[in-house]
Homo-oligomer: A and B are copies of this chain.
Amino acid sequence: MSEETKLIKNKTGLPPGSLVHVGNRKTEKIIITVIDYDNSEFTETICKNIEDCFHLKDKKTTTWINIDGLQDTKMIAKLGEHFDLHPLLLEDVLNTHHRPKAEEFDDYTFLTLKMLGIGKDKRSITSEQISFILGKNWLISFQERPGDVFDSVRDRLRTSMGNLRKTGADYLLYRLVDTIVDHYFVVTDHFDDITEKLEEDALKNPETATLQKIQKRKKELVNIRKAIFPVREAISILEKDTKLFKVGTKRYLRDVYEHIIQLNDTIETQRDLLGNIMDLYLSGVSNKMNEVMKVLTIIATIFIPLTFIAGVYGMNFELMPELKWKYGYLGVWALMIAIFVGMIFYFKNKKWL
């Protein structure tokens, strides 16, 4: 959360469209992968310079340019110039703290999303910004670092499986978005598993560490929500786009839209659940406290009267007839044991023992 706004500081006062990479540099080298295909042809190349792929823009085949790494602002400026992209759009691509959104421009449509993943410690949630610019027959995607979840799509393109090669760039974009959204389910599912374990902890080990875990979960859920919730509106905007999306593809976008609604439901449920876990935690703390108090009460309630009796016969009055009775001492022990046993029964009866 803090991370999200922190780096924007560097930009305050700069004119709009100033290309500054806002975010942590997550990769050393920028990799440009270009896939160009139609129903019959397929080429996949890694370009050294961005200029190498410019000639594909006007080719009739579908071209997918994928750029991993955002730090080379000059290269992105060149790309923007060639594809005639609005400076604000490029600014949004480079600002990795941007809210997911879609925006329609004259000749292209812009979409920026978060790719969610599970961290190496199997506990934290990672987030990477992925932006798409969809043109008539080209798609440019920007990622913060190499390595993504699109390999299944690439394989299908390579092997010409399914109807991916027969359809255009709009359908390719849908497939990539669908893959990202499917991955959201993996993340919320994982989140769900961890939360379930927390539930047990909260009641049985209501320690400060448990509380901190609950708080950490809450924050993560807020971040997940911030990544997923705005996608709903973004998909709506794409659905209304009449130029670049074919009617057939829109039915598929509708499907993605429904998945986002289902994800939002799941997130709300998780939020409720974390609220319940907090209740369990507080209840667990309170139970422990009650147990402490019970122990104190039982011990004190048993021994204070006994000590009193012992105190009575420790008095030094000259005339205390009991002290001289033959069975006085035994009698006092008997009395004390009777009180002890009586108390135990009393507590059993109260279900404190």
Q: Which residues of A contact B (CB under 8 A)?
A: 1-2, 4-6, 8-9, 11-16, 86, 88, 91, 98-99, 101, 103, 149, 151-153, 156, 161-162, 164, 175, 178-179, 182-183, 185-186, 188-189, 192-193, 196, 203, 208, 211-212, 215, 218-219, 222, 226, 251-252, 254-255, 258, 261-262, 265-266, 269, 272-273, 276, 278-280, 282-283, 285-297, 299-301, 303-308, 310-320, 322-324, 326, 328-329, 332, 350, 352
Contact = CB atoms under 8 A, between A and B. Distances in A.
A294 B137 CA distance: 72
Nearest to A11: B182
Nearest to A186: B9
Main secondary structure of the interface of A (DSSP, over half): helix
A312 B314 CA distance: 8
- Tallying the copies of this chain within the complex gives 5
Given A6-B192, A13-B153, 19 more contacts: A2-B192, A2-B196, A12-B185, A13-B152, A16-B252, A208-B283, A211-B283, A215-B276, A215-B279, A226-B265, A278-B279, A303-B308, A304-B307, A306-B308, A310-B315, A313-B316, A313-B317, A317-B322, A317-B328
A226 B280 CA distance: 23
Contact of A292 (B175, B189, B278, B290): B290
Contacts of A212: 203
B293 A13 contact: no
Nearest to A16: B252
Contact of A310 (B193, B196, B265, B314): B314
Nearest to A320: B329
A88 B174 CA distance: 14
Nearest to A195: B2
